[in-house]
Chains A and B, each alone.
Chain A
Amino acid sequence: MNSMMIENFNFLINCDISNLSKNEKLSYYRRIKSKIDMVMNDKDIDLNFYQKLLILKKRVMSKILNVD
């Protein structure tokens, strides 16, 4: 279940969205980030899974940083 979720997030992050406008790109990555946040906010989350999600979140944050 957890690995499936990681794979899905990975797929979403790696999707080619170069044809979208700047605002659309931003909202796309922000939506992924908020979904990762939702999963991370679980009190009883396994810390190894949390760490993997955090790495994904870092990647999304970098993507947001580089949207021009």
Chain B
Amino acid sequence: MGREKGNKGFLKNKRSKKMERYSFKFFFNNEQREYKKKRYTYVALDSCILIDMMKVLTGTAQFKKSPQYYSMLSKLMKRNIFNKDHSKNPRGDLVFCVLPHVLQEISNEDGEIHASMKKFIEKQTVILDIAPCNQKNFDKKISRLSSEYCNKGFFLDEENAPTVDSLIVAEASFFNLTLLSRDRHICINFKDKSPKEKIRVIKEINRKAFSNNFDGAQAEPKRIEHFLNALEKGEDMPKLRNEDILISDLQQFIWGIDHNGIAKEKE
């Protein structure tokens, strides 16, 4: 006991504290801290969540009706790495991504984003544009995956026909992105009889489809509260995969975010 006390006394010694800053341990810890700062979490957003975010930005969100939901949403938005003017938010650690089918929903026939959403989407999110040479292959994989979900009885409408939601979940799975949604179809819901089973089956289908054992965290659709809880607990978040099928400018842009922590202006 006495010896331990003595050791503690030695560690508190002023001189040793001074010397500590030159030690490898001190340097390494700081390096790790720096590395942690640069790790961003990529998440995909459902169209409903995008509109709710717009409501928060324009001040039309009905905070009184669902205060908890909107406060969580604004908490989430504060962690976005992009500010309103597309500059970098130093406190941000989340990159909001827009999947191809979500983009289709919020765009008109000519592929232009609807006027009310345009500024927000262009400045504060990353649109996952697929390179034209990979488009056909990507579509094939996504439709195969979505039909597998539907065969298991997920993401069907009242007439038991597949919905667009299955394609959106498939796209998020392809990029290994957590899909944030408040849609009953998409994410775990308490009303669902066996929500965990549903997610387990979806993950199993994804593992088979991508023939990947997902040594890191495997993505799954989540509600905002579950996602924020996981972030606060410091759980391992899924990392963006298959980004090599995106257009080259976007790949460079993502590389810039990950390595420099600086978001260069999109051309």
**Residues of the A chain whose Cβ atoms lie less than 8 Å from the Cβ of B47:** 54, 58
Q: Which of A52-66 contact B (CB under 8 A)?
A: 54, 57-59, 61-62, 65-66
- Complex: A50 Cα to B116 Cα, angstroms: 9
- Complex: A47 Cα to B117 Cα, angstroms: 10
Q: Mark B60-71, 1 if CB is under 8 A from A, else 0.
A: 100000000000
Interface majority SS on A: helix, strand, loop or mixed?
helix
B163 interface residue (CB < 8 Å to A)? yes
Q: Mark B100-115, 1 if CB is under 8 A from A, else 0.
A: 0000111011000011
A10 interface residue (CB < 8 Å to B)? no
Partner pick for B58 among A34, A47, A59, A62, CB 8 A cutoff: A47
Expressed in whole angstroms, the minimum distance between the Cβ of B129 and any Cβ of chain A is 19
**Residues of the A chain whose Cβ atoms lie less than 8 Å from the Cβ of B131:** none
Q: Which of A27-68 contact B (CB under 8 A)?
A: 33-34, 37-38, 40-48, 50-51, 54, 57-59, 61-62, 65-66
Closest to A64 in B: B164
**Residues of the B chain whose Cβ atoms lie less than 8 Å from the Cβ of A41:** 108, 114-115
The interface size of chain B toward A, counting residues with CB under 8 Å, comes to 22
Closest to B47 in A: A54
Q: Are B164 and A58 neighbours in the complex by a CB distance under 8 Å? A: yes
Interface stretch among B48-56, B169-177, B216-224?
A: B48-56
Closest to A57 in B: B105
Beyond A41-B115, A43-B116, is A58–B162 a contact (Cβ under 8 Å)? no
Partner pick for A45 among B104, B116, B162, CB 8 A cutoff: B116
B161 interface residue (CB < 8 Å to A)? yes
Expressed in whole angstroms, the minimum distance between the Cβ of A16 and any Cβ of chain B is 12
B20 interface residue (CB < 8 Å to A)? no
- Complex: A51 Cα to B105 Cα, angstroms: 11
Expressed in whole angstroms, the minimum distance between the Cβ of B123 and any Cβ of chain A is 16
**Residues of the A chain whose Cβ atoms lie less than 8 Å from the Cβ of B58:** 47
**Residues of the A chain whose Cβ atoms lie less than 8 Å from the Cβ of B104:** 61
- Complex: A26 Cα to B167 Cα, angstroms: 19
- Most chain B CB inside 10 Å of its own CB: which residue of A42, A59, A62, A65: A62
Q: Are B106 and A54 neighbours in the complex by a CB distance under 8 Å? A: yes
- Complex: A45 Cα to B115 Cα, angstroms: 9
Beyond A47-B55, A51-B51, is A66–B161 a contact (Cβ under 8 Å)? yes
Q: Considering the complex of A and B, which 4 residue pairs feature the smallest CB-CB distances, nearest first? A: A37-B108, A43-B115, A62-B163, A66-B161
9 A-B pairs within 8 Å (CB atoms) are namely A33-B109, A42-B116, A44-B116, A46-B60, A48-B60, A58-B163, A62-B157, A62-B161, A65-B162
Show the binding face of A for B, using Cβ within 8 Å: 33-34, 37-38, 40-48, 50-51, 54, 57-59, 61-62, 65-66
